[in-house]
Amino acid sequence: MPTITDVPPGWRTRLQVARDQVARDQVARDQVARDQVARDQVARDPGLLVGVGAVLLMCAPVLPGLSRLVVLPALLLAPGYALLRLLGQATGMRSISVAVPVSLVLAVCASLVLDVSGIRLGPLSLGLVLGAVTALFLAGSYRRQLAVGWPASPKPPPPRQPPPPKLGPWGQPDFSDTEPIPVIKDPKNLWSDARLYLTGAVAATLGRHDCRGWGRVRGLRRQVSPSPRRGRRHPHDDVVLEVPGDHPAATNALRAMFTRDFVYLGVSALQVVLAAAMTPIVTRLVGVSEFGQLALAITVAELLGLTVSLGLPFAAQKVFVGEDGDRRSRGVLAISAVLAVAASLVVVLAAPAWGPAVGLDRVLDARLAALWGTCFALTLTSLAMLRSREKLRMAILVAALQSVGAQAAGLLLLYWWGPTVTSYLCGMIIGQGAAAFVGLLAVTPDWSALAGIRRYGGIFLFGLPMVPQQLSAFILGVGDRVVIRHLLGSAAVGRYSVAYNMGSLGFIILVFVFQAWMPRIYAVADRVARSRLLASSRDMMNLLLIPVVCGLAAGAPVVLRVWVPKSFRPAELAPIVAIVAIGTFPFGQFTANLRALMSEGKTGWAAVATLVAAAVNIGLNVVMVPFLGITGSAIATVLSYALCARLTRPPVSFGLQVPGASVLLRTLIGGAVAVTLAIGVLPTSPVWLAIRLAMVAGALLAFALLLRRAMAGFEISARLVTPIVAHQKRGAMLS
């Protein structure tokens, strides 16, 4: 039997002495570490960098051309960080996320002050004001720091001293009332005796007389060896080797996205191609002022169409995949038709009030634009229904009437009736109205839904937030023209619009892909499978966009020489095209996040995020255009779409966890961005134009091969594209 003996009292005194010495050494080491951290903070103080930023802002006017890009970091960081430093809120590198919006607000306020004061807004005036304000804030922060004193490291609390030992009658220590340390001696098992003795010593070191030391030892043992208790399973046995979900449906949806849905993409893109092809003809038939009125009327019609649709095209696709979806979605179409017609009547009657306010000279043209917008809204809802019902031929017919029919009717009326905006708008209304009528006949709305419209309240909660979301996206895309017009004039707007329209070809592809893919996303009910589908389709689309972006940058000078006259200086627009083209990647991430949010019904989140990004885009343009011209506007567009992609990322609380892109794919995208920017600054001599054409041919070949592989259903390496079915290693995940 084991026997319990008492450790001699002197041993316990030595343990106490050793423990106190360890505590004093630890306090000394902590003090040295705190002093080192304080010295490092002083050494890493970015105040000097902020001062350099203030100097760069003041010297911006003397920097030529694109060399002013070095001012961009100072413009976005220096004023805000200097203000945070003055307020005592600067905490090193962590303040950058706060300094950027603060700098943007300060720059916008400075621009407004200069504009109201009648001072011409340019790199000289804005740079001097921002540089002076930054220097003033920085000087004030250093004066405040000197007055208060450098922040000293906090003093540690004094070490806890053990109580003096009780003395006996002769002055010797008395340990009679001290609890001894129990030690179990087992003569038959010396290893067990030594192990228990060491455990008791560790316990005495960690805790004095209580059981905390023993509890820590037992917890440490559980962490080191998480063996299952008696009668229970091992934690690793609950790991699922294959992620559950509706994988066959997700796999079929992914294959259809790059086969059947690309037919929808081609038909939808036909309208854009025809509009671009008709532009030279229309500009020769009507005058410059008439063409400006026509472009304005088309823009107003599209905005009215998005508004009066009330987001119900998206709601109809969402309802279609639910219980009794076909009938309820046809009810949504009926409600959409009635509300669109009612809204159009109000807008048509109010045309004398809003028409001249938006710049339309003739009230008749404003009313025709409103009618066109109504037909456009009905066509959007009917096309959404046809895509959900897999009516490919009928969808092609409706889209052809909307594009080919409308353009042909407008062109014929320009020849036969007269070269006016009114005649062209009437032709467009005929084609758009025919498309809406055929779409309604093909889908057959359920008019009985009007009597029970209260049962359709959920569709408005889902669809109405999409109206401000789409309007904010429109402002995000074209709001920079207003700032350029105010600061640089109409000629700069024309040059920038040409470069933007060419560089944003990838944006147009992604918008049509978004419209074609949403029924596939809605149809996958399982969240895990839907998350994998969203990630796989996003990654595959990013791969396809890499040659598209590089090809746009390479072929820009060749196309611009044919598309615009020499007065536009097409050679100078090539870098603008390259910068806008790289914005395709954050725009693609934004549309992927938007698909995820809409699949969960979180349209309000998407609306707020897009509105914030649109406001930031206007602010960035106000700040950057005076320094960098239309190049600054292109950079602001890329940054705004990157912010929009970040803001629309679905939170984990939504329950949809979409896997992120792989490291290899992100590396390829980063390399594509660098290559695109390098191509944009290449010369435009005849030899280099031939090299650029070879690059375009290579990009087209790469795009064709990738698209063929995707359409054939061949699997791509999991290092590039997130697979639909994820196999996990045993022990890789603990539930």
Annotated domain spans of the chain? 45-148, 245-266+470-735, 286-464
Q: E strands along 560-717, which residues?
A: none
Residue 469 near residue 408 (C-beta atoms within 8 A): no
Nearest Cα neighbor of 102 from 611, 619, 605 is 619
In whole angstroms, what is the distance from residue 291 CA to residue 296 CA? 9
**What pLDDT does residue 96 have?**
66
Residue 43 near residue 92 (C-beta atoms within 8 A): no
CA distances from 340 to 81, 311, 346, 385, 587 (A): 50, 11, 10, 16, 30
Single-letter code of the amino acid located at 364: L
Nearest Cα neighbor of 577 from 597, 550, 596, 617 is 550
In whole angstroms, what is the distance from residue 421 CA to residue 412 CA? 13
CA distances from 539 to 252, 392, 589 (A): 17, 26, 9
Nearest Cα neighbor of 649 from 687, 683, 602 is 602
* Residue 388: other Cβ atoms inside 10 A: 23
> Phi/psi zone of residue 310: left (φ > 0), alpha (ψ -120 to 50 degrees), beta?
left
Q: Which residues of the chain have pLDDT under 70?
A: 1-22, 34-48, 61, 64-69, 89-97, 144-247, 275-280, 283-284, 286-292, 713-718, 724-735
Residues 6+ apart with CB under 8 A from 471: 303, 306, 307
Residue 370 near residue 377 (C-beta atoms within 8 A): no
Q: Which two tokens stand for residue 647?
A: 């803001």
CA distances from 343 to 336, 346, 385, 457 (A): 10, 5, 21, 19
The secondary element (H helix, E strand) that includes residue 184 is: strand 182-185
**What pLDDT does residue 39 have?**
54
Single-letter code of the amino acid located at 620: L
In whole angstroms, what is the distance from residue 286 CA to residue 289 CA? 8
Pairing of strands 3-6, 182-185: antiparallel
Q: For the segment 628-687, what is each residue's pLDDT rounded down to a tens digit?
A: 888 888 998 999 999 899 888 888 777 777 888 888 888 999 999 999 999 988 888 888
Single-letter code of the amino acid located at 22: V
Q: For the segment 211-243, what is each residue's pLDDT rounded down to a tens digit?
A: 444 444 344 334 333 444 444 443 333 333 334
User: Within 13 Å of residue 692, how many CA atoms lie on the same side as its CB?
Assistant: 22
In whole angstroms, what is the distance from residue 31 CA to residue 23 CA? 12
Cross-strand bridge partners of residue 182: 6
In whole angstroms, what is the distance from residue 459 CA to residue 309 CA? 12
How many helices and strands in the chain, by DSSP H and E?
A: 28, 2
